[in-house]
Amino acid sequence: MKISFIQPSRNNLKYLKWSYEAIRKNLSHKEHEVCVADDFSNDGTLEWCKETAAKDPYFKFIRNHGPTRLGHTILYDRLINEVATNEVVMIYHADMYACPNFDKYVEKYIQPGTIVSLTRIEPPLHPPGPEKIVQAFGTEPEEFNEAGLLKWFNDTRLTRKDKTTEGIFAPWALYKKDFQSIGGHDDLYAPQSKEDSDIFNRFLLNGYKFVQTWEGCVYHMTCRGSRYNPTLTTVGKESDEWLAQNNRSARNFIRKWGHFVKHNDTMKPIVPKRYDVGFVVRNCDEYKLALLEPWCDTIYTDVPYDRYINIEQKNTKFDLNKKLKRYEVPKTNDIIVEFDATKLSNESFEFFNMIQLMLEDSGQIGTLEFDIFKLHINKLQDYSKQLIEIKDEWYNKKLL
């Protein structure tokens, strides 16, 4: 089985070289495609791509000539749809080192309708979790302890034999047709951040199975593409660009799904049913309007909102002119939540994050009260399946 590795890259050439060399050196099949998208880099990535393509018939690349960054949300899909020729594709980051023969374990579990993730071995830069292995073998290619990693990898092989869990995260592989059948990534999140959580939810809703193999591994230096890319920020500091975009994408994820990202401890998505919720808010102001707007499908408010729309509309595909309404107009949502904005607390926003699950668990039609909120539940229709495919109508007009 041949894999097409999908690797957007922006100004992280040293990681890209390191990653490419490991794929060619350590995997059992020498004809895997490496498909790179140079996202308007200025660090020599284009020149290296040209040189590598001249020597390696299975290396392919495209370039975004800029000046606007496209980001991996767009470039993943361009590489899969326009460049990759193999049936199986793998989303793969430039700061990942291929441990020996992981392609054998992808082949062991891959089939139509199944997504295979590899286990990440990471230095202790982030909190530990049951979905990964924390071992320090370096955080930059020039300090990478390859011999130490390979010895540890071989010494612990039997502890991972035949072990699988149900998580999904990069690197992940699937049949290209399965990726294309739901429309790929949603450009709502371009250029990056939360596009992975979104597509994982859609995979789950579409009935795909998740397999994380613990025999197939990568060493992952973590976040070198954007968040901690040394060309964008000082060492150990999140880039301002990433922070701003992550905030935009988080707000858009909430607008679309009605909650923030949810998963179990092994990173399998949790997708509550998606209900149509309208907020009726008294005593609002522009600051609270900005906090509240993503958490509902319609907001009926007594504060002028034209200025908010003018500021926020550029950050989302959702049509805010259709979403924000005057307090006195008829309320048409399936579920109406009434409250006084002056009584909001930090705990109130945890209620907003859990409301879809609470409605699913209750199954009640009628009126109920919770803390400062009065809920009028007229109908409990689940709209989550409408989110599997990317439909611009969801953002441009009210489907709910």
- Give the residues of the chain that fall short of pLDDT 70: 224-237, 397-400
Last residue of a domain, which of 228, 257, 286?
A: 257
The predicted-structure confidence for 284-301, as pLDDT tens digits, reads as follows: 999 999 999 999 999 999
In a domain, 109, yes or no: yes
Evaluate whether 79 touches 37 at the Cβ level (below 8 Å): yes
Task: State residue 241's pLDDT score.
Answer: 87
The pTM (predicted TM-score) of the whole model is 0.94
User: Residues 90, 223: one domain?
Assistant: yes
Please name which of 86, 73, 49 lies closest in space to residue 252, comparing C-alpha atoms: 73
Phi/psi of residue 25, nearest 5 degrees: -85, -35
Question: What are the angstrom distances between the C-alpha of 49 and each of 32, 35, 40, 327?
Answer: 16, 10, 13, 57
Strand segments (E) across 238-358 = 277-282, 298-301, 324-326, 335-340
Same domain assignment for residues 253 and 338: no
Contacts of 154 (CB under 8 A, 6+ apart): none
> Is 250 in the same domain as 291?
no
At 399 the pLDDT is: 47
Look at residue 368 and tell me if it is in a domain.
Answer: yes
Gap between the Cα atoms of 393 and 388, Å rounded: 13
Domain presence at residue 272: no
Residue 269 forms part of a structural domain: no
The total of structural domains in the chain comes to 2
**Residue at 374: amino acid letter:** K
274 touches 383 (CB < 8 A) = yes
Q: Which two tokens stand for residue 100?
A: 């020996």
CA–CA gap between residue 305 and residue 321 (Å, rounded): 9
**DSSP letters of 264-302?**
-TT--B-------EEEEEES--HHHHHHHGGGSSEEEES
Same-domain status, 227 and 320: no
* 271 found inside a domain: no
Q: Do 40 and 128 belong to one domain?
A: yes
d(CA 145, CA 147): 6
Residues 84 and 26 in one domain: yes
- 266 part of a folded domain: no
What residues have CB less than 8 Å from 148, skipping those under 6 apart? Answer: 137
β-partners of residue 368 are: 375
Domain that holds residue 120: 3-257
The C-alpha atoms of residue 193 and residue 226 are separated, in whole angstroms, by: 10
Distance of CA 209 to the CA centre of its chain: 17
Round to whole Å and give the CA distance between 349 and 249: 18
User: Within 13 Å of residue 344, how many CA atoms lie on the same side as its CB?
Assistant: 20
> Are both 281 and 253 inside the same structural domain?
no
Positions of E strands within the chain: 3-9, 33-39, 59-64, 88-91, 96-98, 114-122, 133-134, 164-165, 172-175, 209-220, 277-282, 298-301, 324-326, 335-340, 366-370, 373-377
Write the DSSP string, 178-211.
HHHHTTSS-GGGTTSSSHHHHHHHHHHHTT-EEE
Q: Is residue 142 part of a domain?
A: yes
d(CA 317, CA 315): 7
Dist CA 300 CA 318 (whole Å): 16
Q: Say how far apart CA 389 and CA 202 lie, in whole Å.
A: 8
Q: What is the pLDDT of residue 270?
A: 96
Same domain, 242 and 282: no
Eight-state DSSP code of residue 293 = G
The verdict on 375 and 243 lying in the same domain is no
Three-class secondary structure of residue 35 per DSSP = strand
**Same-domain pairing of 62 and 150:** yes
Check whether residue 166 and residue 222 sit in a common domain.
Answer: yes
Structure tokens at 31: 């004809």
3-state secondary structure of 52: helix
Q: What is the CATH number of the domain that holds 86?
A: 3.90.550.10
In a domain, residue 264? The reply is: no
Looking at residue 238, its pLDDT comes to: 76
Q: Are residues 18 and 143 in the same domain?
A: yes
